[in-house]
Structure 1
């Protein structure tokens, strides 16, 4: 699986599968269309009804799935490199909970409909996520000793539980309209499925993708033990700080669009490493494609097959991800 043709086959197959699922998902929903109708819309034709449903309802939502899923997949690679643990994810390290507390506080104090608030919410959420994962690292790391992956996971899960409990206390003081928004976000309901939110978060996520991929060489070195990385001239503290900043930013902007989504980073990163060598130049695109694919499939299930149940996308992903997490935990202990 290490030769060039095999690597290209894996990435090419993932790209083709993601494209096919995207087109199929665009066709499914309350009102189903033929694949020919979907292709016709993508080519710029079709009647007004088709144009409205595809252009104003489905396409923005699917673009959120692609952007958020890919970003969470990339963040999963970053966090697993940081912690050296296949169980690491934005949820297990507390980033989701940290961003959630900040978002809940912001919603309780500000107007949800204020355009200025919507514009700057992802940046505030990024700060909350970054602070949380930094605290997790400080709790679990002892000076002069190597990173203990299990200790990081335990610290992250514990801190996440504390922050999640604090969110319940905060929501007790929120009015009903804002409470509905908060609960929807916490359950993983896609909230940024409109062109305005995409126009704000989309360019930032694309920039973060570029900046993260530019660090692939340094991250390959960081994957080695600390002594080797130092011997090769890597500034460990600076690289880890940059890694935390990039991972927190990717997660925060994804969560501002897609709600409280967990497990995608862990799933996408771990599955990528099963089929590809430990080279971030390859792991990043593979994990991004897998993240986008998982997110799109989960959202399609909720839209097309669970109509009227009000089950959010995040619940479907948790149903998929939680058993896989337990399986990895069992394998790690074994």
Structure 2
């Protein structure tokens, strides 16, 4: 049974994070090379702005902010699931190579297949999911031992190895490609938020609408999977089946996010740890907090990055890495 005070703390945190997301989004809309003044924001939002103000708000700022929030949520939830099913606090879709697998599949699709502009945004998450799932299965196979199950340290090492291998493969793929396509892949690798239009939002929303409630429904199962292998089997659950199901959910979430934001790591590492520090390790308590934290962190990183240097700014992936890499080293030394 969860203590009532902890439930109240979680609800208060969720309310505070929601307000923080809205406040950061409000500030972000008013910043940048093209922006809407704060006193004109509400009139423009309700249809009383000029053509320029409505174009900046609805075609530039708002889609980008919504994409960063949704992608951050997906990456945070993916990292929460991976840490639970692998019993590894260092697991993250970017660190263990899942994002790189999605990136390779997107690169192959973008470089070698005819692209229909009307369906491009909706195909990308599916293409990324196929590549990420194949990568996750390979990492799982190489990390699994019949005697001891998943080896946490081995999982990280195998994942890092796959990530490096796929990065090398990506360089080979783009070495003979057209300049325009090379620029796109380079931006993807840097974690530049490129899918900043409404079709990309409609492409990622269905994945979150389905997978977030499913994960919350399975939160107690994640608690059991986080126990040792004999204990998990002893309570009567099918460990391999449930672990593989949640692995697919984690891969789908990561793939849907990176298909529109590029190769962003560390969100799935930091958000779950911060949430656990706030409300404890129970999945049903920390996962909702981690979801909102992930959305806020990515939006904050993108807002800061695009306003540091004009006009292109610093990609959100690099901004997150500047924070996440030292945090990863801290956790590695601590664990």
TM range (shorter): over 0.9
| Pair 1:48 & 2:51 matched | yes
Aligned to 1:26: 29
- Per-residue Cα deviation, 1:29-74 (whole angstroms, up to 9, x for no partner): 1134443322333344323222111011000000100110011011
Structure 2 length-normalised TM:
0.94
Aligned to 1:188: 191
CA contact (8 A) 2:40 2:49 kept: yes
CA contact (8 A) 2:125 2:203 kept: no
Q: CA deviation at 1:260?
A: 1.0
Structure 1 length-normalised TM:
0.94
Aligned partner (choices 308, 311, 317) of residue 311 of structure 2 = 308
Matches within 5 A, 1:184-333: 184-332=187-335
Aligned to 1:84: 87
Q: CA deviation at 1:310?
A: 4.3
CA contact (8 A) 1:112 1:178 kept: no
Instruction: Supply the distance in 1 between the matched residues of 2:119 and 2:20 (Cα, whole angstroms).
Output: 38
- Per-residue Cα deviation, 1:207-266 (whole angstroms, up to 9, x for no partner): 222222221121121122222222222111111111111011001110111111111110
Q: CA deviation at 1:148?
A: 2.2
Aligned to 1:105: 108
Instruction: Supply the distance in 2 between the matched residues of 1:271 and 1:312 (Cα, whole angstroms).
Output: 23
Instruction: Supply the distance in 2 between the matched residues of 1:182 and 1:231 (Cα, whole angstroms).
Output: 47
Instruction: Supply the distance in 2 between the matched residues of 1:284 and 1:301 (Cα, whole angstroms).
Output: 26
Q: CA deviation at 1:94?
A: 0.9
Q: Show structure 2 runs of 5+ residues with no match.
A: none
Instruction: Supply the distance in 1 between the matched residues of 2:307 and 2:40 (Cα, whole angstroms).
Output: 17
Aligned residues: 332
Q: Show structure 1 runs of 5+ residues with no match.
A: none
| RMSD value, Cα | 1.7
Indicate the larger mover: 136-145 or 61-70.
Answer: 136-145
Instruction: Supply the distance in 1 between the matched residues of 2:48 and 2:239 (Cα, whole angstroms).
Output: 53
- Per-residue Cα deviation, 1:76-132 (whole angstroms, up to 9, x for no partner): 100111221221101122101111111111111124563334422211211111111
Aligned to 1:94: 97
- Per-residue Cα deviation, 1:174-226 (whole angstroms, up to 9, x for no partner): 11111111111111111211012222222222222222222112112112222
Q: CA deviation at 1:309?
A: 5.0
* 1:3 aligned counterpart, secondary structure: helix
- Per-residue Cα deviation, 1:256-298 (whole angstroms, up to 9, x for no partner): 1111111111010111111112222222211111111111111
Instruction: Supply the distance in 2 between the matched residues of 1:36 and 1:113 (Cα, whole angstroms).
Output: 40
| Pair 1:137 & 2:146 matched | no
Aligned partner (choices 100, 119, 130) of residue 127 of structure 1 = 130
CA contact (8 A) 2:101 2:163 kept: yes
Aligned in 2, Cα 1:305/1:132: closer, same or farther, shift over 3 Å? Answer: same
Instruction: Supply the distance in 2 between the matched residues of 1:123 and 1:241 (Cα, whole angstroms).
Output: 19
Aligned in 2, Cα 1:113/1:58: closer, same or farther, shift over 3 Å? Answer: farther
- Per-residue Cα deviation, 1:146-182 (whole angstroms, up to 9, x for no partner): 4321111011001111111111111112111111111
